[in-house]
Amino acid sequence: MKNGMIYLLLIGSAILWGVSFNLGKLAVSAIGPMNVVGWRFLIASCCLLIFYYLKERPTYQQLKSNLIRYFFIGVIGIFMTNALVFSGLSYTSAVNTALITAANPTVTLICSFLILRERMRKQQLLGMILSLIGVWFVITAGSITKLSSVSVGDLLVLCGNSCWALYGVLGRKYLKDSTPQKTTALTMFFGAICFIPFMNFPIEPDHLVNLADVWMIIGFIALFGSVLAYLWWNKGISQLGVTRTGLFFNFVPITSMIMSVLMGEDVLISQIAGAFLVITGVIISLIRIKKHLHIGRSIEN
């Protein structure tokens, strides 16, 4: 698959996750974070397991050697990431949640350097610096003093974001021979079953909320924000590597901000400026990396 198509899939993943934060906030306020993410990933993992089986027809012998690795990576990347992020949504806004996750490429770069021993190129650092400046503009509204009051929700989301960075890096290190479908299906399955002890059966939503609307939200973030988005994301990791793929996570807060506008919330000039810097940082990183790879191939030929 050509890089142009991979880029589109990764942007699609980011858009679906950004929308999921805003919709997830509504569902969390009605039935609680663990019920939302629990049902989200139980539904998604069932769909992915069926898709994986039909496409690859795996045997038990092919699965058993790495099950422990899939389990631990699933616990970190699916269970811990989403339990922390959606718990944070109970205490902070959807936009704030999405903005904090924009630091993911930087966390991923650090994890890649420490665990994978990947080299940090100048163009990657430049792109990430621009993206971080953009995030700083959005979070602080241009004022550094706002960083002094970080909420519990923000801290939970930050911890969840770190787990997500580890999900990509550990998968790249320990599941090198795994296909995107296999990685996504098995890690999501193991992560999903960890939510069951923390869920309520049956669900009892707030009396002001229509249960059908809640299930529509869960269905959307399960099928689109989980099945499609995770498949596309792991496809990107397999083709581009974890560091370059991580850059596309910067589009998540942009999507969330646009969704907030559509839902009637105000957007500041500083947020628009920050969004511009985030996108610019991603584009610079990708263009310069592409140029570097092209030169490298020319020398080899």
> What is the chain's pLDDT, residue by residue, as a tens digit (301 residues)?
677 888 899 999 989 988 888 888 888 888 888 999 999 999 999 999 998 999 888 887 777 778 899 999 999 999 999 999 888 888 877 777 777 777 777 778 778 888 887 777 777 778 778 877 776 776 666 665 665 556 788 789 889 988 988 998 898 888 877 888 888 899 999 999 999 999 987 777 665 667 788 889 999 999 998 889 888 888 888 888 776 787 787 788 788 878 878 877 776 777 777 778 777 776 776 665 444 444 343 333 3
The count of domains in the chain is: 1
pLDDT of residue 70: 93
286 within a domain of the structure (yes/no) = no
Burial of 33 (0-12, 13-18, 19+ CB in 10 A): buried
pLDDT of residue 293: 44
136 within a domain of the structure (yes/no) = no
pTM exceeds cut of 0.85 = no
Q: Distance between CA 243 and CA 87 in Å, rounded?
A: 27
The radius of gyration of the chain's CA atoms, rounded to the nearest angstrom, is 19
296 within a domain of the structure (yes/no) = no
Range(s) of the domain holding residue 161: 3-120+149-268
140 within a domain of the structure (yes/no) = no
Question: For 32-103, where are the alpha helices, taking DSSP H only?
Answer: 33-56, 60-64, 67-74, 81-88, 94-101
28 within a domain of the structure (yes/no) = yes
32 within a domain of the structure (yes/no) = yes
Q: Which two tokens stand for residue 284?
A: 């610079």
Write the CB contacts of 254 (distance below 8 Å, at least 6 apart in sequence).
14, 18, 275, 278, 279
What separation in angstroms does the CA of 58 have from each of 50, 52, 181, 238?
Answer: 11, 8, 11, 19
Cβ count within 10 A of residue 90:
14
63 within a domain of the structure (yes/no) = yes
Closest to 14 in 3D by CA, of 285, 250, 272, 263: 250
Q: Distance between CA 114 and CA 248 in Å, rounded?
A: 21
Q: Distance between CA 203 and CA 31 in Å, rounded?
A: 7
135 within a domain of the structure (yes/no) = no
